[in-house]
């Protein structure tokens, strides 16, 4: 599947996003299109890899909008600022002209301040002056609405601009008719104030939307702008975009590490708090990996660049957040469905309102103003902004805590989880096992053979045995015919003898007796230690016990999950006795033991068939299949080893407590989305009947079009502001 991202530069409302989506999805080779009004981005999935961004841009342009590919952050920000300034200038013009329009239209306002307005009321050229003042507001300040409405008509659709244009044009052209041909009243102030209020709402909405994406801006601000390269012994400052893999970079004390790399010279400490959350600097020496945008504290070092540009750790984080903020949560489909029918329905209600009042005996002005009020009070934007703004704030807040949520779908699903399956090694435990016991007649020989076999293995327990042999200064033997037996152990030949090293399954399958070690094995397993048995072809030679310390946070996490009515389960390849010892230490009662890596996904699937909504928590590499199978895959990672492809959520700081934070964040965000949708629906459910005039027969209340426009303008702002309140929630 090929994915192309485009930046859309001139959407005015949520309906615009749906128009572009529909245009893109009609094309052959396009699997899906996700256009997000809040982020002004389109993410297009293609089944035809030959399709290029230029082709998709033409489709967007044909729909009446402007799209660009590969825009830099600086270009996007500049484009937004330019668009904001354009709207701001139109608003100022509309405001300056609307003030005299309002005073001339309603001279009674002057009387409130003790000013005699009789002359103004009797002025014969009043209508002509109002026409001259209102026309620039209608067609210059309000030009973007006409342009947007035209695009919608061209795409055989409707949007918010359609409502604004119909409402303001009705008031304006009715007034023009009465200025030059008829002798009726004029309502220029209605058209002018409507456009002014809606432009004000758009300005406030854009500023509020800008605040929802502050997380990305902060991360982008962490990037270094230049790097000091060393070529032929000479230093040279170059832009960060020009650094290539393999370049040697000099970093002095107090400077940012410009790229991901490995130390080739020098010794220093580096502040990696942006990754690990730990406040204490980490020592770095030759061979140590360093991450771009971390801070070099007190020593000069030289680095060899290993990842540059979009490949750096920070760039990957930014990419993940952008994709998450541009994605849609399933709950948004409800709002999208309603938005697609919203504008045509409102136009219908407006027409019925106008004709209804006129038919039952109200005058033309009352009927017309009621119809206009219906057009302008309805706002599909509030519905369109309800979900994406909350997702933007939620994912941004998570990123600030080192919790990278890869999609709106993952964010929504996390809050529904009722079962969390934890991998044992490296998740509930520290993942740094140590050799605790060696039981054998010849202890040194058993350790030497085991370490010689394990030096070719990539299993986490291999490091513990090798480290033990290093501490005892053993010289390891050469191994031939090495074989890794997944889920069982390893085998190999040393000095012509074949050795096996692994768990009890391996030994039993090879029909080797361990009866002479039975008592020791049972005791070690009761203590929660992992047992590895070394055997030759005919007999068991010894036992090596390895223990992995439980994370200090594991018990707290499990305890809180239970309080949240979420069942914690531990899954491991260890035997049942060992697994249950570890589980008891962290408070877990349900254990899935002796599960091979490839079978973890089967166990997750079984839980799902039982009706559980499952989150799988693992290291993101060994558990990748299970992470993918789970409703939500949560991958623990640290530094440059974050397995960004494995899980739906990446816990960058490798902190198990962030599992709780992710669940809380999801629940808070979904609550905020539901609040937003509730208020967006309630606003229209209450506002539209009032605009129709249902209160007029009872209390004589009529909603003026300009007040309806003001209410519509602030409905979107209120939804975005409510989303921003999520920033203050503690997770």
DSSP codes of every residue in 185-205: ---HHHHHHHHHHHHHHHHHH
Give the pLDDT score at 609.
Answer: 94
State the pairing for strand pair 567-571/590-592: parallel
Residues of the chain with pLDDT under 70: 73, 107-124, 209, 212-215, 275-279, 379, 620-622, 638-646
Give the pLDDT score at 139.
Answer: 95
Give the pLDDT score at 646.
Answer: 62
Give the pLDDT score at 113.
Answer: 60
What are 43's strand-pairing partners? Answer: 5, 34
Classify burial at 103, counting beta carbons within 10 Å of its beta carbon; exposed 0-12, middle 13-18, buried 19 or more.
middle
Q: Where are the beta strands (DSSP E) in 267-354?
A: 268-271, 282-284, 289-290, 295-296, 301-307
483 contacts 477 by C-beta, under 8 angstroms: no
Q: Nearest 10 degrees: CA dihedral of 310, 312, 315, 319?
A: 70
Give the pLDDT score at 39.
Answer: 80
Nearest to 193 by CA among 721, 731, 704: 704
Q: How far apart are CA 136 and CA 144, in angstroms?
A: 13
28 is a catalytic site residue: no
Would you give the distance in Å from CA 451 to the centre of its chain?
Answer: 44
What are 591's strand-pairing partners? Answer: 570
Would you give the distance in Å from CA 93 to the centre of its chain?
Answer: 38
Give the pLDDT score at 642.
Answer: 42
Give the pLDDT score at 639.
Answer: 34
Q: Which of 247, 260, 423, 648 is the catalytic position? A: 423
Q: How far apart are CA 308 and CA 94, in angstroms?
A: 48
Nearest to 668 by CA among 277, 435, 405, 321: 405
Q: Where are the beta strands (DSSP E) in 14-127?
A: 30-36, 41-46, 67-69
């Amino acid at each position: 599947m090929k994915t192309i991202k485009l930046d859309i530069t001139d959407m005015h409302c949520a309906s615009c996003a749906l128009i572009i989506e529909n245009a893109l999805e009609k094309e052959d080779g396009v699997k899906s299109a996700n256009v997000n009004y809040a982020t002004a981005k389109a993410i297009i999935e293609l089944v035809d890899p030959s399709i290029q961004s230029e082709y998709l841009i033409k489709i967007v342009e044909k729909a009446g909008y402007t799209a660009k590919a590969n825009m830099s952050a600086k270009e996007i920000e500049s484009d937004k600022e330019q668009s904001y300034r354009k709207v701001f200038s139109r608003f100022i013009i509309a405001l300056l002209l609307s003030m005299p329009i309002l005073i001339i239209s309603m001279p009674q306002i002057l009387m409130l301040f003790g000013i005699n307005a009789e002359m103004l009321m009797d002025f014969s050229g009043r209508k002509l002056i109002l026409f001259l003042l209102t026309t620039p507001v209608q067609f210059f300040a309000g030009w973007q609405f006409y342009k947007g409405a035209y695009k919608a008509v061209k795409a055989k659709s409707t949007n918010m601009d359609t409502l604004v244009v119909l409402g303001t044009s009705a008031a304006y052209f009715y007034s023009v008719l009465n200025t030059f041909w008829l002798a009726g009243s004029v309502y220029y102030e209605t058209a002018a104030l409507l456009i002014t209020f809606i432009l004000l709402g758009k300005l406030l909405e854009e500023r509020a939307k800008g605040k929802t994406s502050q997380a990305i801006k902060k991360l982008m601000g962490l990037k270094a702008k230049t790097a000091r390269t060393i070529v032929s012994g000479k230093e040279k400052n170059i832009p960060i975009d020009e650094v290539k893999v393999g370049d040697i970079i000099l970093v002095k004390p107090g400077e940012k590490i410009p790229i991901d790399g490995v130390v080739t010279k020098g010794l220093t400490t580096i502040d990696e708090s942006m990754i690990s959350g730990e406040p204490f600097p980490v020592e770095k020496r030759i061979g140590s990996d360093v991450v771009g945008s971390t801070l070099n504290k007190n020593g000069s070092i030289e680095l060899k660049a290993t990842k540059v540009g979009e490949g750096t750790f920070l760039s990957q984080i930014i990419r993940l957040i952008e994709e998450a903020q541009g994605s849609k949560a399933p709950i948004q489909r409800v709002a999208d469905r309603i938005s697609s029918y919203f504008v045509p329905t409102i136009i219908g209600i407006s027409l019925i309102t106008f004709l209804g009042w006129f038919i039952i005996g109200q005058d033309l002005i009352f009927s017309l103003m009621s119809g206009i009020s219906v057009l302008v009070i309805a706002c599909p934007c509030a519905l369109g902004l309800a979900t994406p703004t909350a997702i933007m704030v939620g994912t941004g807040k998570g990123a600030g805590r080192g919790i990278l949520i890869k999609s709106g779908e993952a964010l929504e699903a996390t809050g529904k989880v009722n079962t969390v399956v934890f991998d044992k090694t490296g998740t509930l435990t520290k993942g740094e096992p140590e050799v605790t016991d060696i039981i054998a007649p010849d202890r040194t020989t058993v350790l030497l053979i085991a370490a010689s076999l394990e030096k070719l293995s990539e299993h986490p327990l291999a490091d513990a045995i090798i480290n033990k042999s290093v501490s005892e200064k053993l010289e390891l033997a050469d191994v031939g015919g090495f074989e890794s037996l997944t889920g069982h152990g390893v085998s190999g030949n040393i000095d012509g003898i074949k050795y096996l090293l692994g768990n009890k399954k391996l030994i039993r399958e090879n029909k080797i007796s361990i009866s002479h070690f039975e008592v020791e094995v049972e005791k070690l397993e009761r203590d929660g230690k992992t047992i590895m048995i070394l055997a030759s072809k005919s007999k068991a030679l010894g036992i090596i016990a390895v223990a992995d310390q439980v994370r200090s946070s594991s018990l707290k996490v499990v305890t809180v999950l239970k309080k949240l009515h979420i069942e914690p389960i531990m899954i491991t390849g260890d035997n049942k006795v060992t697994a249950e010892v570890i589980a008891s230490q962290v408070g877990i009662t349900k254990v899935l033991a002796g599960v091979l890596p490839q079978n973890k996904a089967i166990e997750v699937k079984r839980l799902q068939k039982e009706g559980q909504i499952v989150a799988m928590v693992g290291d993101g590499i060994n558990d990748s299949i299970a992470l993918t199978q789970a409703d939500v895959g949560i991958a623990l990672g640290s530094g440059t080893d974050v397995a960004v492809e494995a899980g739906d959520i990446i816990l960058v700081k490798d902190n198990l407590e962030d599992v709780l934070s992710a669940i809380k964040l999801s629940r808070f965000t979904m609550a905020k989305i539901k609040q937003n949708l509730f208020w967006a629906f309630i606003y229209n459910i209450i506002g539209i009947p009032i605009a129709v005039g249902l209160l007029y027969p009872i209390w004589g209340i009529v909603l003026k079009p300009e007040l309806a426009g003001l209410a519509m303008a602030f409905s979107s702002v209120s939804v975005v502001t409510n989303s921003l309140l999520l920033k203050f929630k503690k997770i």
